[in-house]
Homo-oligomer: A and B are copies of this chain.
Amino acid sequence: MTTESRYPAQTRRQLLTRIGILAGSAGLYQAMTSLGHAMGTDFKGPPHLTGARPGTTVLVLGAGLSGMLAAYELRRAGYSVRILEFQNRAGGRNITLRGGDTLTELGGATQKVGFAPGNYINPGPWRIPYHHQGLLHYCREFRIALEPFVQLNHNAWLHSSSTFGGKPVRYRELASDINGYTGELLAKAIDQHKLDDLVMPEEREHVLSTVRGWAGLSDKGTWASGARSSLRRGYDKMPSAGIDGAPTYSTPFPRAEVMKSGLWQWMAFPEALDMQTTMFQPVGGMDNIGKGFASRVHDLITLGCAVTSIHQDDHGVKVTYKDTAHGNAIREAAADYCVCTIPLPVLSQLDIQVSGPLKSAIAAVPYASSVKLAFEFKRRFWEEDDQIYGGISFTDQPISQISYPGHGALSKGPAVLLGGYMFGPAAYDFAGMTPAQRVEEGLRQGSVFHPKQYRSEFLNGIGVAWSRMPWTLGCCSMWSEQARKAHYKTLVSMDNRIVLAGEHASYVGCWQEGAILSSLAAATQLHKRATGAA
C-alpha cells in the first residue's frame, strides 16, 4: 500500500484501522457539523425488533458474541431461535485461559495452562475502547463489571534494537524528547522568521506560545537539562524529603538518536482512536462477557455441532452437522432463516448454498494470523523492580510487546503478563513453532526489558496461535481495500434466507464491537425480510 511506504513498520491496529478506513473512502469527506460533537458512536441503541410472525424459526450458526446477540434480539422479537456451536463452550474468540484449561491446536499439540488460582490471560480480545458503545451497552444491560485497562504507561519501556545501544528507554523519556526537540526546532524556525510565509503575523505569537508550552521548552526556547525537561522526562534524583531532598535534573537523549530510533510510532499508538483512554477490561477475565451473553441464551445453544452443509430453497434453510458429542452422528436442523457467524476461513470450506457473488465474497477475505504468549512469573518484578504498573513495553523484535496486568497492582505472589503479541509475518513464524519453542523464543526476546528477572522468576507459559485454532483458522478478518470495494456489500447483504454476521461483516474488523454491530445489522435485515418489510 502506498500510504505505508514512508513509514516504519506500522502497528497492527494502525494497519487494520487504516485498511478499514481506506476501503470505499473515496470522496467520503464531510463538513464538520458541530464543534466538539464531531464524533458520536454509530450505535444508536438496541434494535427494538417487534412483530415477528408467530412460529417463524431462525437457526444461528456459532455461539460467539455475534451469534448469541442475534439469538437474544431475535427471540425478544418473537422468533423461535436455535444456536448450533462447533466448540464445547460458548463465547467463540471471547475467551479467557486459567489454570487447568487445555488448548489443542491443529497438528495435535495440546497445552495445559499452569497458572495459579486467580491468574488468567485473555488470548483473544483483551481491551475495549470507550467508543465501542454497542458492546458497552450490552455489558451494562447484562451487568458485566468492567475496570480500566491500562494502555498507556509513561514508565514502560520502548526498545529499538539499533539505537540507544540496543537498550530500552522509558516512554516518558522518549516522548518528552520527541516533543521537546520538534518544538525547539519549530520555535526557532518561527523565531528566526523562517516561516513568515506560512504563519501570518497575527498568528505568530499564538503558535510560538503553543509550541513552547506544549513542548516544555526552557525560557531560552531550548530542550535541555533543566526544570522543565525533568518535569516531563524524569529526574536523575527525584525530589524527596529531609536535608538532601533536592532533586537533580536529567539530561535529554541526543537528538540524532531520538530521531533515528523510529520509536515515535509507540507514541502515536495510544493516540489512535482505538487505543485512546479510557479503555476497559472485564473484571476477572474477558470471558465474563461471553458468559454474560450466554446466560441470556444458554437454553438455545447446542454444543459440539460441526456444520458440514448449509442449504436453502424457497421454503427454508437446512443445515447438516456432525454431532461431535454423540459419536459424530450426522444430524440435520431446519429453519425459516439462518444467521451464519462461522468465521470465513471455515465457512469457505463448507458446502453452502448461496449466490455466486456471496461465495466469492466469502473466499475474498483473508484472515490475520496472530500469536499471543502468556507467562506466569513468581512475582510482579516489573512493579517491584521497575515501577511499571500495567501498560505496554514495546520492541522492534518479533514479540512486539510485553503487556503488564493493569489489575491486581501491588499484590504478592505469582502473576501473568502477555509476553508477546505477534501479527503478520512474525505470527506465522511463531505459529510454525512448537508451543515450547514459542515460549522459549518469547523469553529470549523479552529478556531485553527484564534481563535479571525474566528467566529466574519464570514459572510457566503458553503460546496461542490463532491460525491453528480449528474453529476459526485465523485471528480475524483482514479486508484489503480492493476486497472491500468488490465484496463488502455482498457479504453483509441477506442472500435469500441466509445472512452473515461477525466482525468480518463490519468496518470494525478484529474488534468485538464489529461482532456486536454486525449482529444487530444482520438481525435487523433478517427481521425486515421475514416480516416482508424488505
Contacts and interface: CB of A to CB of B under 8 A. Distances in A.
B508 A30 contact: no
Interface residues of A, number: 146
A390 B519 CA distance: 29
Contact of A22 (B24, B172, B227, B243): B227
Contacts of A521: 240-243, 245
Contacts of A389: 130, 278, 280
Interface of A: 2-3, 6-8, 14, 17-18, 20-25, 28-33, 35-36, 38-43, 130-131, 133, 136, 139-140, 146-148, 150, 152-155, 157, 164-165, 167-170, 172-173, 175-176, 178-179, 182-183, 185-186, 188-190, 194-195, 198-199, 202-203, 206-207, 209-214, 216, 219, 225, 227-228, 230-243, 245-251, 253, 255-256, 258-260, 262, 264-265, 267-268, 271-273, 276-278, 280, 387-391, 406, 409-410, 412, 488-489, 492-493, 505-508, 514, 517-522, 524-525
Given A7-B213, A36-B169, A240-B521, 4 more contacts: A140-B412, A182-B214, A203-B259, A242-B524
Most buried by B among A2, A182, A524: A182
A176 B271 contact: yes
A242 to B, nearest CB: 3
A188 B198 contact: yes
10 contacts: A21-B230, A29-B249, A41-B238, A148-B148, A148-B150, A148-B390, A182-B207, A186-B189, A242-B492, A243-B492
A270 to B, nearest CB: 9
B248 A28 contact: yes
Given A25-B246, A387-B130, A521-B242, A231 B182 contact: no
Nearest to A176: B271
A277 B189 contact: no
Contacts of A188: 195, 198
A307 B505 CA distance: 72
Contact of A28 (B18, B233, B246, B387): B246
B8 A209 contact: yes
B41 A387 contact: yes
Chain A at the B interface: mostly helix, strand, loop or mixed? mixed
Nearest to A263: B210
A38 B18 CA distance: 36
A167 B238 contact: no
A475 B434 CA distance: 60
Contacts of A185: 186, 189-190, 195, 198-199, 207
Nearest to A505: B241
A152 B493 CA distance: 40
Nearest to A409: B146
A246 to B, nearest CB: 5
- List the 4 shortest-distance A-B pairs measured between CB atoms, nearest first: A242-B521, A39-B234, A241-B506, A239-B507
A305 B242 CA distance: 27
Given A42-B239, A194-B194, A25 B227 contact: yes
Contacts of A164: 35-36
B39 A170 contact: yes
A271 B131 contact: no
